[in-house]
Amino acid sequence: MKRGFTLMEVMIAVVVLSIGLAGIGHFVGGFLKIREQESNRGVSLLEAVSLMEEQIASPGPCAKPRRDETDTSKVVVSVSRQKVDFDLTFERLPGAPLLQWVTIHEASGYWNDLTMKRIVRCVETDLH
């Protein structure tokens, strides 16, 4: 009686193992993609919170209407941090002299709709 495997048995085992490894590789690639997306979402959320905290800690100038505008003023500023783009909107509160809405919207596309909005103080300037 001979001991060992035939060439056919070895080839079938290699094919079965290859199919299994290809399936596992597909899942690992998907997991790595999801991990990268979640990492980007986390960075964008932390940066959005950081931007809002900066607006609260050090108030900026109050948004003023231009001379040709009759409604409340709205100023939009684009900011980029750690490869994440944000749109900051400053909108003056009617009847409140030193308060304005600050809206932070993540514009990079990591989130479907990451928007933070808060009333913050502002500083009156004559630059406009």
Tens digits of per-residue pLDDT, 48-93? 999 999 999 998 888 876 555 555 578 888 999 888 999 999 998 8
Task: Specify the pairing of strand 74-81 against strand 115-121.
Answer: unpaired
pLDDT in tens, 25-53: 888 989 999 999 999 899 999 999 999 99
Task: Considering only residues 6 and 64, tell me which one the structure prediction assigns the higher pLDDT.
Answer: 6
What is the per-residue pLDDT for 65?
60
Task: Over range 4-29, report the average pLDDT.
Answer: 91
Q: Is the pLDDT of residue 17 over 90?
A: yes
Contacts of 124 (CB under 8 A, 6+ apart): 61, 62, 97, 98
- Give the DSSP H/E element, type plus range, for residue 120: strand 115-121
| Distance, CA of 84 to CA of 64 (rounded, Å) | 28
Identify which of 111, 121, 100 has the alpha carbon closest to the alpha carbon of residue 48: 111
Confidence class for position 128, pLDDT limits 50, 70, 90:
very low
pTM of the full structure: 0.70
- Give the DSSP H/E element, type plus range, for residue 80: strand 74-81
